Amino acid sequence: MAQVRTLVVDDHPLFARGLELLLPGASEGRVEVVGWTSEARLAGSDARSKLPDLALVDLMMPEPGGLRAIAAIRRALPACRVVAMSGSDDQDLAVAALEAGAEAFLPKSTEPEAVVTPLLAVLDGWSVVPAALLHRLTAARGDPELVRALGGAERHLWRRLAEGRSTTQIATELHVSERSVKRMTAALLRSLRVSTRMEAATLAGQVGLLADSG
């Protein structure tokens, strides 16, 4: 099983060092911390140099802050999956992180052993958030009339996203490039008036898309 190269962006050395020591053991050697930076402004350059599969980003960092760090990582290394973390229970900040490009949000109170499963799920294309935040997100934006106006191809793509299919899986199924799937996904999110795949999946559940065999 391939190792998961992980970058930690956090200005608390003890927390970062704790992840570096605990994640390999908790994951039976699968998760390896390949880099750590305490400065948000270095997140993008570190992502380019370390080439992580996954980045753990503290949202409560000094300026330019965790949100900017997430955006920088997404620009520098689009294939890298980003997990936002925070010791704050500010749900607005967590939502902002998801909108900035994070695929998941985990409280920093999460035990290291409990972090591994969500991290691997994120790599498999899933979004992971605490239950309280998920409940908030179930009030997803979207006009039902707009949803019904989608074409068959758009509804098919939406259903696959809601099922947690990765970009690679969808590209294989549709016999198109991953770049095409990313372009189609971006267009679908705009049509649904949502910002993330997770919000699209939540909205799919609200309108009964997964129960619709069409």
**Mode of pairing for the β-strands spanning 104-107 and 54-58:** unpaired
- The residue assigned the tokens 């390999």 is 24
**pLDDT average, residue stretch 158-186:** 88
Give 74-96 pLDDT, tens digit per residue. 999 999 999 999 988 778 888 88
Q: Is the pLDDT of residue 205 over 90?
A: no
Asked if the peptide bond before residue 64 counts as cis, ω within 30 degrees of 0, the response is yes
CATH class of the domain comprising 144-206: mainly alpha
pLDDT of amino acid 140: 47
* Mean pLDDT computed over every residue of the chain: 85
- The interaxial angle of helices 197-206 and 178-192, nearest 10 deg, is 60
Q: Whole-angstrom Cα distance, residue 39 to residue 41?
A: 5
Confidence at 164, pLDDT banded by 50, 70, 90: confident
Q: Higher confidence at residue 214 or residue 112? A: 112
Q: Whole-angstrom Cα distance, residue 83 to residue 55?
A: 6
Domain ranges of the chain: 4-136, 144-206
pLDDT of amino acid 197: 83
Range picked from 105-119, 170-184, 185-199 for highest mean pLDDT: 170-184
Whole-structure pTM value? 0.64
**pLDDT average, residue stretch 133-154:** 66
Q: CA angle, corner 158, sides to 139 and 151, nearest 5?
A: 110
Q: Please give the CATH superfamily to which domain 4-136 belongs.
A: Response regulator (3.40.50.2300)
Query: What are the φ and ψ backbone dihedral angles of 174, each rounded to 5 degrees?
Result: -90, -5
Q: Whole-angstrom Cα distance, residue 31 to residue 115?
A: 11
Give 30-86 pLDDT, tens digit per residue. 899 999 999 999 999 999 999 999 999 999 999 999 999 999 999 999 999 999 999
